[in-house]
Structure 1
């Protein structure tokens, strides 16, 4: 449970927009090869102090390899990694100001909760008094005070996850590395824990780096997200920018649901670009200042929730108006998702919030429908 509002803290935090800010972590032209396979390819990335940063991408994209190089479990084939201005080359994991929390939690089954938390502190030679004080602090932080004497098998999955987090934080690392930390939790518990992680990160003022393939998780917890593919950074931006302003079809398609319509540029003026597409009788319009030549292949990407759907035709002259047939329907409680098949066969997704419990004439299978979106709702993509 959050103990204070995070909004004012997170809203004002954006050191990546300050050209004078010095990053805490810097990957400088880093490449990692395993034999003939390139896991990370000439990657440059800055992460700032107190940032909650997410590496997001499909399996095999290089995100875990990048984290393991920062932790010291792998060495770069080329390039340099610095942390706090110090080159990490050749420095073993136990001499780096980082700590990693693994997906499996890796708790000692024969130790109690407080014993697990204290283990690393004992290895560092802290006094009994210092260890007791730090363990008490971590138990309180993670709300595990009443479970201190229990062993891992006596805990739920969420409680074991908090023990692993407390143990990782006990040594007060500069950077906490989280490798798919919530993957073993059910959806509801995972969502609750995401907010707990955010609160702990802000409270402690530490830098968190999370690796995940769960886009919703990355968008929830992170100040910035790096979308990766085949060892390269495709886009690094805030969650809002990633979602609303994807820089490519890959990012647009990877983050959330989206409809992508291909066409050719037919004109541009006044901050509007028109695209002729086989999917539409009239040219489609998108708000954009992009300078693309006429007849250039381009794509309009529009989110399902930004598309209007109705049994009735929109007013004459409405931009981006299409017609289709309801192909399938998914009722999700808060939202209903409609799959609309256009005359040419392409299927678009439209999401509508269920604002009322009943409607006079619900849209149903095989209905002929009209859909449209505002020019500002779409994004023009050139790659």
Structure 2
């Protein structure tokens, strides 16, 4: 019986152990295409059995990095070490990795069975061993009944699983996934995310996934590397990336966020006082002590902001008056856009914990927004 995913994930943190050795080390890698630098002096470590995500907008260099891991591109400078072996000059077919492409790249004239067996036949594996391995892969992705079908006779989710089975058939040490769920509809994509997590745990492999979908990365990955313009901006667990972004870019890129720009007026004890450009007085918990007069920003997630008809007890600190400008009902939660007196629009979200709410907030109502000292993070840039 497979061990609970939760029990494994709670204790899995080899990056925090100084004695742990990285399974993949990317060391000062740069990749240029003519005058364009796709990957810029990038370094990161990935550990055995880690589900690692490269997350960023189009053109940030994440797919180029994945292709260098696969061997389809060679670094202009720097080196990539996998399980103690420098991959320089090693062609893709000799690397202990396999890549699953966004398009799936299935052979349309071949059956599911033959698609999965293709790489094994190319390697000269005996027929009996191929049949056994293909049977194992079909069972793994729950496609035993579809072995004789061709790709056009399958749904998008089934084709995705055939591509996955083919990628796993050669038992690579690392599976590289390039936007693997992009062609699936929302519900199937969410289901497949958890299937991939369970599969990765069962096989004990290292997965490296490239995605621009923040939810996808947050759901599946043990750690995320947020990339921008060929560089890694932050590497951390999903919770750390979301709750403690290390820069304005990461705070703004991951999920929804409200950013309050201002000037530091004082730093005392474990908190910092900031006066925003709109005249709101903030007092936020902060381990760092920026100098008085320094520019700073405070990032606060919408779910951390409360809305009330009356001013909170701690007003005017960490509070402001405004008007409900827009309301978005999403089923599980309601999102409010509150326009403050200085014109700034703040987003706040409220969980719909019960089916009906007495006297709900409506458009154009005057309200107060408020938040606690530990609700946001102080950013220096």
Q: Alpha-carbon deviation of 1:278? A: 2.7
How far apart, in 2, do the equivalents of 1:15 and 1:119 lie?
35
- Which consecutive residues of structure 1, in runs of 5 or more, have no partner in the other structure? none
Kindly provide the CA deviation profile for residues 210-269 of structure 1, in whole angstroms up to 9, marking residues without a partner as x. Answer: 000000000000000000000000000000000000000100000000000000111111
TM value normalised by structure 2: 0.98
Contact 1:121 1:171 in 2 (8 A): yes
How far apart, in 1, do the equivalents of 2:132 and 2:34 lie?
47
Contact 1:30 1:40 in 2 (8 A): yes
Q: Alpha-carbon deviation of 1:5? A: 2.3
Contact 2:2 2:202 in 1 (8 A): no
Q: Alpha-carbon deviation of 1:279? A: 2.4
Contact 1:319 1:373 in 2 (8 A): no
- Which consecutive residues of structure 2, in runs of 5 or more, have no partner in the other structure? none
Q: Alpha-carbon deviation of 1:197? A: 0.3
Counterpart of 1:105? 104
- Aligned to 2:277, the other structure's residue is in SS state coil
How far apart, in 2, do the equivalents of 1:280 and 1:335 lie?
30
Q: 1:321 to 1:82 in 2, by over 3 A?
A: same
TM value normalised by structure 1: 0.98
Kindly provide the CA deviation profile for residues 303-350 of structure 1, in whole angstroms up to 9, marking residues without a partner as x. Answer: 000110112222255740111111111110001110111111111100
How far apart, in 2, do the equivalents of 1:50 and 1:3 lie?
15
Q: Alpha-carbon deviation of 1:184? A: 0.3
Counterpart of 1:324? 322
Contact 1:319 1:374 in 2 (8 A): no
Corresponding position: 1:192 with 2:159: no
Contact 2:31 2:39 in 1 (8 A): yes
How far apart, in 1, do the equivalents of 2:341 and 2:316 lie?
19
Corresponding position: 1:346 with 2:361: no
How far apart, in 2, do the equivalents of 1:164 and 1:295 lie?
56
How far apart, in 2, do the equivalents of 1:279 and 1:255 lie?
25
- Aligned to 1:375, the other structure's residue is in SS state coil
Kindly provide the CA deviation profile for residues 181-202 of structure 1, in whole angstroms up to 9, marking residues without a partner as x. Answer: 0000000000000000000001
Runs of 4+ in 1 over 6 A off after TM superposition: none
How far apart, in 2, do the equivalents of 1:319 and 1:307 lie?
13
Q: Alpha-carbon deviation of 1:44? A: 0.6
